[in-house]
Structure 1
Amino acid sequence: MGLINLLTSNPTAFVIIAAALVLSLTIHEFAHAWTADRLGDPTPRRYGRVTLNPGKHLDPLGTLLLLLVGFGFAKPVPINPMNLGRWGTLWVSAAGPISNLLIALVSALLLKIVPPSDLTLTVLLTVLTVNVVLAIFNLIPIPLLDGSRILGALVPSLGRSLAQFEAMPFSFLLVMGFIFLAQEPIGQLIGTVRGWVLGFVGFV
């Protein structure tokens, strides 16, 4: 279900979830760009991506899909693997999901120490959930996702095959079609991990 349905049924939830997504996607893409920049690749800085400005990271089509169908994407950060090498590419790919896990960890800690109220509880649980979902989803080894690039860095022959696939004209549409068809098992995986995390912090 897309977020747009919440706009009339529960505007407060819409604002909280939308804000959490903007924050989390921005930090996710910034983490990729910052890590590449620190490791010696000037490409993200050249494209203005080493910034926390959401406008530089949000993709219009990806945002629209998020509103309408419940899953979308941000603008991928351009990098040059030749400047990074195998392990640099791995760290750049892992930086996004790691940033989401760190946000989730901070949210979980705040849930333990911040005086409880309905609003703070809702905001922190939403931020925690959104970031767990983003981290787990992006770590799935599907082409174009961070998980496939991490796997490609660990297994160079596979990485070359994945890079060739991603260079195909219709690779994006094929991946989006696969995600759409596989949304039930993907949702079950994410739901299981989300339930485990919420149980761990004492909210299930």
Structure 2
Amino acid sequence: MNALNQIQLLAVLALPVVLAITVHEAAHGWVANRLGDRTALMLGRVTFNPLRHIDPIGTVLVPLVTFLLAGLLFGWAKPVPVNVQNLRHPRRDMALVALAGPGVNLLMAIAWGLTIQGGMWLLDVNQWVALPLVYMGAAGVLINVFLMVLNLVPLLPLDGGRVLNAMLPRRWSYYFSRLEPYGLLILVLLLATGRLGLVLLPPVIGTVSLLPGADIVRELFHY
């Protein structure tokens, strides 16, 4: 996307980022509600209203700083509260609640890929409509796949860590859960040293290559 200046790039990224984060968090709450825990629903978190999910630091400040300084979007939203004791099958259902977020990111990535294809079809009809669709679709694919892969890393408090925690024997699960306060610090250190990108890039590129519009995403982002 070298043809875009930073303001144009931010405009292209804004909607995909907001939807990726908002729908991801809403999915956690929706699945938790279906499995017996109404906590998120009662707190108004099962909604597509981004204001309900935005964390001023994690959703606004950190992504803006990392984008301007490193050209990488990194951040988080307010976690959806889940009362495990309300779930009908606590360990199994907690894993399902955790998987809902990355799962819906994959669905959105597919939808954005189809948006790219629709934009390409419209190129000869109306470029003013087609080009924003193509650029936004490419951003949507990459953002959602990146968010999906990042959240599947088996580290608490990420969704992958929740799934692993539910699968471990109870004694191991107890010790693993005690590492959660250090999870975000580990992620920040991995980001600062460049290791996070090395870990995430192969599965991100591999997943994107299977989606609609993969060639356009590769061409626009030059990977």
Q: Could you say which TM-score interval applies, normalised by the shorter chain? A: 0.7 to 0.9
Of 76, 79, 88, the match for 1:76 = 79
Structure 1: segments with no counterpart, 5+ residues: 1-7
Normalising by structure 1, what TM-score? Answer: 0.85
Distance 1:134 1:90, change over 3 A: same
Deviations 1:74-97 (A, max 9, x none): 000111111121111110010000
Of 149, 172, 193, the match for 2:162 = 149
**Sequence identity (%):** 34
Distance 1:25 1:118 in 2: 24
Of 185, 191, 197, the match for 2:201 = 191
State whether structure 2 residue 185 is matched by structure 1 residue 180: no
Distance 1:18 1:150 in 2: 29
Aligned residues: 191
The amino acid of 1:118's aligned partner reads: L
The amino acid of 1:179's aligned partner reads: L
Q: Which residue of 1 aligns with 2:221?
A: none
Contact 1:152 1:162 in 2 (8 A): yes
Q: What does 1:1-204 correspond to in 2, within 5 Å?
A: 9-63=5-59, 64-69=61-66, 70-84=73-87, 85-114=90-119, 115=121, 116=123, 117-157=130-170, 158-166=172-180, 171=181, 174-183=182-191, 184-200=194-210, 201=212, 202-203=214-215, 204=218
Q: Which has the larger radius of gyration?
A: 2
Contact 1:149 1:159 in 2 (8 A): no
Distance 1:199 1:62 in 2: 29
**CA RMSD, 1 decimal:** 1.9
Q: Which residue of 2 aligns with 1:4?
A: none
Distance 1:96 1:151 in 2: 15
Contact 1:59 1:73 in 2 (8 A): yes
Distance 2:154 2:189 in 1: 16
The alpha-carbon deviation at position 22 of structure 1 amounts to 0.9
